[in-house]
């Protein structure tokens, strides 16, 4: 339970006086139901307490350690009858023993009318749509999301935004942009899943206790389901809030063309949240990345007379020794949000044409992760790499080596004092997590939105270390807390003045 008093601290009512209570032990009920029960029981034992709970004098505040009220709703001492506005309704929990029933206030479960089962069912539908990238087959999920949004009780304005043939972004809007705009976005593509490495079908969501297993549940289909549920709950509760923008984008895992298209079409928001797996921590910084291909040229010869050739693999080894020395220098750079510095990793090697031939060519792929710094240009890294490998020698002769930059992505970081960061921290804390600011060692679409001028942070269920793995998983408890946190952020961002 989300932090409650012990039974001895509860305001207690004899069970006999509550005959016909229309709910079961451990069931959540709202204030109106509680007052109705008390009225039928001909007692006003808790009426004054509930009045103070709704106002400034909540008597159990010291017991629970914090105020329990809907996010963004100012306190009031005027609502003491059962005709409460919907947004003032609180949740209470009832505990039975042999003689009494106790009333315990608990933090509001902010999933609106959606149960955990419905949330899990929605995620199962999303996981079942195989959106593996490469090759990029997101349309099947885009079609499902459009259908789901069109059927929503919320009147979303839904748009398909073509990125490539058969690969559309889906954007849904509801609310008044003049009162603020918050973008909840995330990618719908997933990395491939080799069935042999999985315990069961990776695209059939399965449950083991509190854990849900399936490709993409952490990265990041769980967060997509949570955002949709949270947005619907928030918008269904308020008549005229600010604008919620839901964006479901393609191609994050390979090139980022989905968010690039979002930006090219002029997406406009005051702030954005991407649901990458952060373990319910608030990620405000991420590494950049530079990718290189290296090619070393040699001279072929029969393997029986290697002295008549130049072994390109031997030359590549010498080059990679130089790169290892470069890595030793760059990783010592520090950043307060990362537990280690940048890294240069050799991720692929290829060379040779036959077992009995001295190879005349060998190649390698480098992945260079950099600290978050939007001001750095790719040419800076090109120069460092060129200086590191220049003058590499094999058997007394220079190694013939060329490199080509394959991609560049600048790291990004949001001001730690930015309003969206502080709102996210407060919301996560309110729903019962222990949030901290962290950095993400991976690369996400946040950099593209930040460069566009939209302050963007990452928040979602699951661990980045679990992403892309066999039997990728996320817990139901983290998933539901993600829904509650997103909704609380919406309350604070689009309703508070």
List the structure tokens of 16. Answer: 């006999």
Query: Do both 176 and 260 map to the same domain?
Result: yes
Query: For position 20, what pLDDT does the model report?
Result: 44
Query: Do both 375 and 416 map to the same domain?
Result: no
363 falls within a domain = yes
- Is residue 458 predicted with pLDDT exceeding 70? yes
> Which of the residue ranges 42-51, 227-236, 247-256, 475-484 would you say has the lowest mean pLDDT?
42-51
38: domain range?
A: 7-105
> Which of the residue ranges 76-90, 193-207, 438-452, 459-473 would you say has the lowest mean pLDDT?
76-90
Confidence of residue 442 (pLDDT cuts 50, 70, 90): confident
pLDDT tens per residue across span 427-441: 999 998 999 999 988
Q: Mean pLDDT over residues 304-310, rounded?
A: 95
Q: Where a domain ends, among 50, 83, 105?
A: 105
Q: Count the neighbouring beta carbons within 10 Å of the beta carbon of residue 258.
A: 31
Name the pTM for this structure: 0.75
110 falls within a domain = no
Strands 473-475 and 211-213: antiparallel
CATH label of the domain that carries residue 446: 3.40.630.10
Query: For position 271, what pLDDT does the model report?
Result: 98
Whether the bond into 135 is cis, omega within 30 of 0: yes
Q: Please name which of 42, 13, 34 lies closest in space to residue 89, comparing C-alpha atoms.
A: 34
Q: Where a domain ends, among 70, 105, 140?
A: 105
Query: For position 363, what pLDDT does the model report?
Result: 98
Q: Mean pLDDT over residues 271-279, rounded?
A: 97
- Is residue 45 predicted with pLDDT exceeding 90? no
Compute the radius of gyration of the chain from its Cα atoms. Answer: 28
Q: Count the neighbouring beta carbons within 10 Å of the beta carbon of residue 410.
A: 22
- Is residue 299 predicted with pLDDT exceeding 90? yes
Q: Where a domain ends, among 344, 379, 409?
A: 409
Residues sharing a CB contact under 8 Å with residue 123, sequence separation 6 or more, in sequence order: 205, 212, 214, 217, 221, 222, 225, 479
Query: Do both 312 and 446 map to the same domain?
Result: no
Place of tokens 């750079």: 333
Q: Please name which of 421, 424, 457 lies closest in space to residue 440, comparing C-alpha atoms.
A: 457
Map residue 297 onto helix, strand or coil.
strand
2 falls within a domain = no
> What is the number of domains present in the chain?
3
Query: Do both 206 and 302 map to the same domain?
Result: no
Query: Do both 82 and 222 map to the same domain?
Result: no
Question: In 70-194, at which residue ranges do the beta strands (DSSP E only) sit?
Answer: 91-96, 100-105, 157-164, 167-174, 176-187
Give helix then strand counts, H and E, for the chain.
12, 24
Query: Do both 292 and 282 map to the same domain?
Result: no
DSSP category for residue 195: G
- Is residue 135 predicted with pLDDT exceeding 80? yes
């Amino acid at each position: 339970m989300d932090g409650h008093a012990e039974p001895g601290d509860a305001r207690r009512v004899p069970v006999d006086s509550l005959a016909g209570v229309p709910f079961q032990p451990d069931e959540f009920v709202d204030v109106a139901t509680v007052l109705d029960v008390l009225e039928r029981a001909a007692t006003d034992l808790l009426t004054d307490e509930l009045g103070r709970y709704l106002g400034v004098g909540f008597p159990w505040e010291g017991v629970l350690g914090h105020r329990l009220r809907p996010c963004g709703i100012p306190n009031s001492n005027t609502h003491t009858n059962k005709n409460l506005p919907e947004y003032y309704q609180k949740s209470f929990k009832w505990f039975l023993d042999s003689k009494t029933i106790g009333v315990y206030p608990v933090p509001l479960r902010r999933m609106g009318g959606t149960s955990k089962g419905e949330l899990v069912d929605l995620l199962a539908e999303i996981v079942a749509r195989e959106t593996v990238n490469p090759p990029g087959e997101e349309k099947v999920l885009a079609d499902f999301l459009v259908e789901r949004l069109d059927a929503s009780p919320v009147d979303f304005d839904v748009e398909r935004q073509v990125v490539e043939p058969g690969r559309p972004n889906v954007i849904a809007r509801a609310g008044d942009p003049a009162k603020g705009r918050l973008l909840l976005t995330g990618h719908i593509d997933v990395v491939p899943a080799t069935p042999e490495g999985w315990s069961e079908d990776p695209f059939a969501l399965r449950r083991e206790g509190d854990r849900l297993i399936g490709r993409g549940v952490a990265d990041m289909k769980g967060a997509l389901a949570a955002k949709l549920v949270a947005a619907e709950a928030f918008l269904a509760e308020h008549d005229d809030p600010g604008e919620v923008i839901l964006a479901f984008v393609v191609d994050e895992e390979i090139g980022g063309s989905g968010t690039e298209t979002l930006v090219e079409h002029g997406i406009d928001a005051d702030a954005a949240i991407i649901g990458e797996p952060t373990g319910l921590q608030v990620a405000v910084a991420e590494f950049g990345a530079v990718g290189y291909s290296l090619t070393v040229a040699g001279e072929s010869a029969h393997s029986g007379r290697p002295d008549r050739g130049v072994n390109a693999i031997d030359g590549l080894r010498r080059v990679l020794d130089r790169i290892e020395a470069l890595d030793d220098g760059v990783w010592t750079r520090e950043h307060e949000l990362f537990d280690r510095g940048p890294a240069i990793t050799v991720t692929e090697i290829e060379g040779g044409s036959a077992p009995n031939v001295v190879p005349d060519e060998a190649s390698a792929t480098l992945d260079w992760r950099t600290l978050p710094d939007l001001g750095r240009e790719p040419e800076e890294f090109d120069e460092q790499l060129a200086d590191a490998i220049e003058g590499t020698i094999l058997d007394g002769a220079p190694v013939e080596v060329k490199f080509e930059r394959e991609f560049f992505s600048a790291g990004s970081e949001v001001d730690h004092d930015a309003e969206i960061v502080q709102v996210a921290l407060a919301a996560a804390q309110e729903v019962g997590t222990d949030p901290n600011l962290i950095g993400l060692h991976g690369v996400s679409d946040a950099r593209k939105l930040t460069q566009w001028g939209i302050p963007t942070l990452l928040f979602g269920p699951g661990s980045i270390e679990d992403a892309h793995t066999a039997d990728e998983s996320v817990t139901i408890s983290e998933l539901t807390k993600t829904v509650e946190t997103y909704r609380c952020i919406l309350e604070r961002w689009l309703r508070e003045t």
